[in-house]
Amino acid sequence: MCELLGMSANVPTDICFSFSGLIKRGGETGIHKDGWGIAFYEGKGFRAFHDPVASANSEVAKFIQQYSIKSTQVICHIRKANRGRVCLENTHPFSRELWGQIWSFAHNGQLKGIKKKVLNGYTPIGTTDSEYAFCWILGQLRKKYPVKPKSKVKLRKTVEELFRKVSQHGVFNVLMSDVDHLYTFCNTKLYWLTRQTPFVEAQLLDADLCVDFNQEASPDDVVTVIATEPLTSNEQWTKMETNEFSVFRLGVKTFTQVS
Amino acid sequence: MCELLGMSANVPTDICFSFSGLIKRGGETGIHKDGWGIAFYEGKGFRAFHDPVASANSEVAKFIQQYSIKSTQVICHIRKANRGRVCLENTHPFSRELWGQIWSFAHNGQLKGIKKKVLNGYTPIGTTDSEYAFCWILGQLRKKYPVKPKSKVKLRKTVEELFRKVSQHGVFNVLMSDVDHLYTFCNTKLYWLTRQTPFVEAQLLDADLCVDFNQEASPDDVVTVIATEPLTSNEQWTKMETNEFSVFRLGVKTFTQVS
């Protein structure tokens, strides 16, 4: 199984603290040593960093840890390969353009029979079931909406429907992002936490590192962090329900549905 | 105007030496201070690094300079903005997936009226004429070949046709890559150089740095570097002809046509 980390914030925020905890699990405090990746949204722009080596030993990860990239949405993934060999093209998050926006996707779980689904316009580069599912989801979105739907509710409902269809194929814990929204689905395990005033000092579980967000954040900042397992020892993480679909925007959970 | 750098090699090769020269032109020895980007092909995998700041001052550029990523194909671009503001989404190289491969594209020049062309399935994220042209080219390829054509010659001819059509809109010096080929078009300025045995010591023009490729390379290595301006002072760079379309594969120029 892999580990996921996501962030949604109302102001461009760096993820160095949470990332510092997560990468330790990529070969040091955890077994997820088969590559890692991180994707940042900066305005309409998008950049991603991938490395097919253990994050705990990755030079790219060390760089990302030190270099503060401020972003309103982040998706990160450390991989324990089960389907698809260890290589760059099988390293999450995957990304594709739809309606002039970059969509990105990271997944934890295995999906049986997903590759029998017919694709529409998006083709996987690697061999993972995860990338295949992502390509199928985007293809279905494009088929239903050749141009971006004006109604955010319609779009959200379609994404939820597609996530629920994919989740019938196995374990599907997922983070998917367009420029504005972080769509999440919890099939077995996903936790979340919102940091806002009054801020506290947070202590990482996987590294001897704490940050006093009173010093780091401004009073109006709202930052939600989503992860496979809690990353800090002294904050109250909420476990998502089984089959919970939730949407985050600007740090706030804007929709949730369990079924 | 911007500066381009490309590499095609028969073995995974790092581009640190050439890159060290080029990035100086991004705000130090040159005026191309409006961002930069670099894309690497590693097997079927692809990763790109972008930074919307001057490459001469970029922390990401310093990292890439020190961290040897070995690749058979590289496209790099340093930007002097003329169309489209300075931001991440306007930073070359642009990339999209077609037929399960990542295609990437970097352009030097301005294209008048390009945005009147009708797109097909690929939509720009930013506002540059370059990204628009790239989206149009890929959309035309997909329209003509819904699946990847088996004939490389057919594909090459279509790419050439599309390049020549775009070049009618203005200045079009370009590097475009799929997993296997580096397609180039020289409208006004592009130089190239092949390094192979017997290797020499090369001296950068923009930095006090030389490399003895006798020490660095193996006898069978064939590496072609393509750039807007020669990067070294003591090697024989070949200037491409006006309206020359050339294709490189595994370090070798496999096709060239001037018209």
Task: State the average pLDDT over residues A103-121.
Answer: 96
pLDDT digits (tens, 9 = 90+) for A40-73: 999 999 999 999 988 888 899 999 988 889 999 9
Which of A44, A59, A97 is closest, CB to CB, to B122?
A97
Among candidates A63, A100, A102 on the partner chain, residue whose Cβ is nearest the Cβ of B63? A63
Minimal Cβ distance to B47: which of A45, A88, A126: A88
Task: State yes or no: pLDDT of A29 exceeds 90.
Answer: no
Cα–Cα dist B12/B71, whole Å: 4
pLDDT in tens, B94-105: 999 999 999 999
Supply the pLDDT for residue B32: 76
Residues B231-255: tens digit of each pLDDT: 999 899 999 999 999 999 999 999 9
Catalytic residue among B2, B76, B135, B186: B2
Q: What is the pLDDT of residues A208-252, one digit of tens each?
A: 888 888 888 889 999 999 999 999 998 999 999 999 999 999 999
The Cα of B234 is separated from the nearest Cα of chain A by a number of Å equal to: 33
CB A86 within 8 Å of CB A130: no
- Which phi and psi (to 5°) does residue B220 adopt? -90, -5
Contact yes or no for A248/A181 (Cβ under 8 A): yes
Contacts of B88 in chain A (CB under 8 A): 42-47
Domain region containing A139: 3-258
CB contact under 8 A, A87 and B63: no
| pLDDT reported for residue B251 | 97
Q: Judging by DSSP bridges, how do beta strands B101-108 and B94-98 pair with one another?
A: antiparallel
ipTM (interface pTM):
0.93
pLDDT given at position A1: 67
| Domain of residue A119, CATH code | 3.60.20.10
Residues in chain B, pLDDT under 70? 1
* A16 a catalytic residue: no
> Which of A2, A76, A135, A186 does the annotation list as catalytic?
A2
DSSP string, A113-148: TGGGSPP-S---SS--HHHHHHHHHHHHHHHH-SS-
Q: Which residue has the tokens 């409208």?
A: B187
Backbone angles phi, psi at A137, to 5 degrees: -60, -50
Taking only the tens place, the pLDDT of each residue in A14-24 is 888 888 888 88
pLDDT at B1: 67
For the ranges A93-102, A104-113, B40-49, B199-208, which has the lowest average pLDDT?
A: B199-208
Q: Which of B49, B63, B123 sits opposite A97 (nearest CB)?
A: B123
Do residue A44 and residue B122 have CB atoms under 8 angstroms apart?
Answer: no
Q: Which residues of A touch B102 (CB under 8 A)?
A: 125
Q: How many domains does chain A have?
A: 1
Give the residue from A9, A144, A64 showing the smallest Cα distance to B49.
A64
The string of pLDDT tens digits covering residues A150-208 is: 999 999 999 999 999 999 999 999 999 999 999 999 999 999 999 999 888 888 888 88
Tokens representing residue A57 in the block? 């030993």
* Selection from A230, A232, A251 nearest residue A182 by Cα: A251
Region A110-137 average pLDDT: 97
- Look at residue A214 in the predicted model and tell me its pLDDT: 82
CB A140 within 8 A of CB A133: no
Residue A255 has pLDDT above 70, yes or no: yes
Q: Do B96 and A97 touch (CB under 8 A)?
A: yes
Q: Report CB contact under 8 Å: A96, B100.
A: no
Test A126 with B67 for CB contact under 8 angstroms: no
Nearest CA in chain B to A131: B100
Distance CA B60, CA B67 (A): 10
